[in-house]
Structures are given as C-alpha cells and as structure tokens.
Amino acid sequence: MGRSLLSLAYNGVPLRCSRAPFNFQRASDNNSSLSKSIGVLTVCSKMGARSTGPVPPSRLLKVVETAATTGAEVVMNAVNKPRNITYKGVTDLVTDTDKSSEAAILQVIKKNFGDHLILGEEGGIIGDTSSDYLWCIDPLDGTTNFAHSYPSFAVSVGVLFKGNPAAAAVVEFVGGPMCWNTRLFSATAGGGAFCNGQQIHASQTDQVERSLLVTGFGYEHDDAWLTNIELFKEFTDVSRGVRRLGAAAVDMCHVALGIVEGYWEYRLKPWDMAAGVLMVEEAGGTVTRMDGGKFSVFDRSVLVSNGVLHAKLLERIAPATEELKSKGIDFSLWYKPENYNTDI
C-alpha cells in the first residue's frame, strides 16, 4: 500500500507528515497521544535532498568535509592566540579568524566546484545563481564563545541541491584552553550521519520530563526573543533542563549524537542551519519550523528533535509561534538568492 501525505495538526497547527500503518500497541507504549487518536504512525516530511544531483554523494561529501576541516585548521591555529575583535552590532562579534576561515573554505569550494553558488556569513552571495547547488558557510559558528575560549563553537559547511540539504560537515571544537580538540560530524542525504566516521543516531527518549533540551537567543531583543524566554521557562519546569550553548550547528549535532533530545530557535540564517538540520534528519530525528510546518533552510525558525518527542515539543512551541504570527511578526522566507532554482 502506497504512503499518502496528510495535513495533520498539533493544537490546530498544520504539520506535513506521511501516513503509514502501525502497531497500535506500540504507539500506546510510546505514549503518543497523536498516534493513538488517529490510529497511524506519523512521520514528518523529509527536508533533505532527494539526490545529490550530477555530483556523486561520495565526491560531494569529500569536498564538504575538506572545506570544513580546512576552515577548522585556521580556527585551531588561532584558538590560543589574542583575538582581534570587531562588531557587527552592539554585542554581535566578528573576528579576523571568522574571515580567514571563510577565505580558506571558499578556496576549497572554488577549486572543486567553480560553477557552484556560495552563501557565506561574512562574504554574502558569490557565484552563479543559475547553479542547482548552494553552499552555506558559517566559518565560525559561536564567535562569542570563541572570543572567550568557551568550548562551544564550530565550523559549519552545508551544500544544498535545488534548495534542499544534500551534504554537510561540522567540525566542533571540544575541550577548552590547554586541551583543545575537534570532532567531525558529516552527513549526506539518504546516507546517514556520522561522528568521526562512526554512525550516530538520535536518542529514543519519549518523555519530555526525561529529556535535556537546548535553545538559542538572537541579538535582537524583540517579541520573538521574549516569546522564547517564556518557552525557556516552560520547558525548564517540565524537562531535565534547557541549555543555551550559543552555537546552532553544535546544538543540532548534539541532537544527532543523541546527547540532547531537542533544539529550537527563532531568527537563524541559512548558514546556521544548512549543515545541522541534515545531521539531525540523517540520525533519525525530525526537523520542522517552530509552527510545525515543513522546513526549508531559508525559513526564520527551526525545531529539531529526536523524532519521538517532536509532537510533544510542538504542543507548547507551535501555539507560541502562531501567536507571534498573529502579531504580524514576519515569518516569510528570510532569503533565497534571486534566480536560484529550488524544489521549495
């Protein structure tokens, strides 16, 4: 029997999911009120690319890993040296290391795929907008942490094929002063997620009260920021804790690794999300917008989870997001390069 797409809702909020038969007792054991109520196992739509296009997955992965590790070498060379810090805003930092890391990453991509489009946090859009490929680069995710030698930062490189994540690599810096080290997360669409070459999987924790969660806050202290402060309080009361580490790519890789159960944030950019969301999905987790809608890397919110907790997280997060939308807060696509061909 073929799978059919449903438009389901959590507290009235639509969520695109696929419908397939399941064992009713199993859903009951998992404490899934949604599954029990409709008698199906719900699986959210995949947002990863259906293929890597004319570039074979192995080649795309090799280049994306090389790009990320090359940027990470720049960061590692600077991690114990004095920082030269400038400001994009009152508290939004940028260092010479951000710029040097991005330059090194760009060199790798251009050498291998000179006709691909690139979106970098520091350099903006570069290349041919008619390309089916878009590289999203965060040369130093967690710059403030890096500036303070606080061990939660990374180099993140994701590549989209027709707007959907196709391959990704994140080099996370771990340890701290006197003992810095790194670990490499990587994934291809349909090929699984890996950490230092070993396949990883999201956790199977199915109760919010037994979960450890992560969120993030942007630099603008607006209505979305205030709403997330309230969500932070709510989930702190009902879970084992909510962490705020300050590096979106790292947070999502931790969901993929199975050491936390969920992560959400408003106001992210494509370079923040392109790699991390693929890690989560390929590790068996779920990715949507914070209103429960189908996610793209050009969206302004993201919720990732281990999958089994997704509906329960949405019960609180989706209504809060809908309230923001009712106030006129903009949740349209943040940015999509003009003339860039996508399946979105």
> Which of 194, 215, 184, 167 lies closest to 316, judged by CA?
215
Task: Note whether 38 and 148 are within 8 A (CB).
Answer: no
The structure tokens listed for 266 are 């408003």
Which parts of the chain are beta strand (E)? 4-10, 13-20, 41-44, 85-87, 93-95, 117-120, 124-126, 133-141, 153-161, 164-174, 181-188, 192-195, 198-199, 212-215, 241-243, 262-266, 286-288, 301-305
DSSP state for residue 210 in the 8-state scheme: G
Please state, in angstroms and rounded to a whole number, the distance separating the CA atoms of residues 313 and 325.
Answer: 18
H or E stretch including 239? none
Task: Note whether 231 and 264 are within 8 A (CB).
Answer: yes
Please state, in angstroms and rounded to a whole number, the distance separating the CA atoms of residues 330 and 120.
Answer: 23
Number of helices (H), then strands (E), belonging to the chain: the values are 9, 18
What residues are designated binding site? Answer: 121, 138, 140-141, 272
What residues are designated binding site for Mg(2+)? Answer: 121, 138, 140-141, 272
First to last CA, the chain: 27
> Which of 68, 2, 75 lies closest to 274, judged by CA?
68
Which parts of 189-285 are beta strand (E)? 192-195, 198-199, 212-215, 241-243, 262-266
The residues, ordered by sequence, that sit 6+ positions from 330 with a Cβ below 8 Å of its Cβ are 300
Task: Note whether 292 and 316 are within 8 A (CB).
Answer: no
Edge-first strand order for the sheet with 286-288 is 241-243, 212-215, 262-266, 301-305, 286-288
- Pairing type for strands 93-95 and 85-87 reads antiparallel
